[in-house]
Chain A
């Protein structure tokens, strides 16, 4: 099966601009997660979708970040306006619904490296 796809792989934007990251999960994976690693820090949870619904958005840093998953397929994460501290690598992960498939871990994408200058 195709993996979790994220694009762009890299993005360099100026402070104050808007950037939209996209994640295409594995087909059939209802659960979709966003994580990020900012420079020198651990990978941190941002939010969790079950289909199109936000199950947990406790990790979203502030209201400059907006995540959507219309139709329960791909997801976007918009940062508007971007600040310097938003630089980092943003990861998306997906998994089967519980009880319908593998109970193993999540499948992560390769990430989007965002640089705000």
Chain B
């Protein structure tokens, strides 16, 4: 079973920041938080990952709470093309036991004009 809990759906206005929450209260010390998204009829797409520090890349920012029990993915300026299902996944890294991904239901983000 997935070790994360996410709201099933969210709406966001185009151009505004989308903040997607994720709870992972049973995360263990060596597990990372990964975010993927799946745009309709495509394969999942990697977005970002982190262990304990906040991370930022060209796609998004990841904020992880100090106790690591929750995190927030931030899309700073959402566009219509960001409409997708977003998955928060807790996993060992690839270099540790293969790091297989356990997907939950994810959050369906709808970006509206």
* B43 and chain A: residue at smallest CB distance: A108
Cβ-defined contact, A105 with B49, below 8 A: yes
Binds B, one of A13-21, A39-47, A60-68, A69-77: A39-47
Q: How far, in angstroms, from A59 to B104 measured CA to CA in the complex?
A: 15
Does A1 belong to the interface (CB within 8 Å)?
A: no
Residues in B with CB closer than 8 Å to A50 are: 98
Cβ-defined contact, A103 with B93, below 8 A: yes
Tier of interface size on chain B = 20 to 34
Chain B binding site: helix, strand, loop or mixed by DSSP?
loop
Cβ-defined contact, A31 with B49, below 8 A: no
Tier of interface size on chain A = 20 to 34
Does B45 belong to the interface (CB within 8 Å)?
A: yes
Cβ-defined contact, B98 with A104, below 8 A: no
Contact with A along B70-90 (1 / 0, CB 8 A): 000000000000000001000
Q: How far, in angstroms, from A33 to B44 measured CA to CA in the complex?
A: 13
Cβ-defined contact, B44 with A108, below 8 A: yes
Residues in B with CB closer than 8 Å to A7 are: none
Residues in A with CB closer than 8 Å to B98 are: 31, 48, 50, 55-56
Q: How far, in angstroms, from A110 to B43 measured CA to CA in the complex?
A: 4
Seen from chain A, the residues whose Cβ lies within 8 Å of a Cβ on chain B are: 4, 31, 33, 35, 42-45, 48, 50, 55-56, 59, 91, 93, 95, 98-99, 103-111
Seen from chain B, the residues whose Cβ lies within 8 Å of a Cβ on chain A are: 2, 34, 36, 38, 41-47, 49, 87, 93-95, 97-98, 100-105
Q: Could you list 18 further interchain pairs (A-B, Cβ under 8 angstroms) beyond the known A45-B100, A98-B93?
A: A43-B38, A43-B87, A44-B103, A45-B101, A48-B100, A56-B97, A93-B44, A95-B94, A98-B94, A99-B95, A105-B34, A106-B46, A106-B94, A106-B101, A108-B43, A109-B43, A110-B41, A111-B42
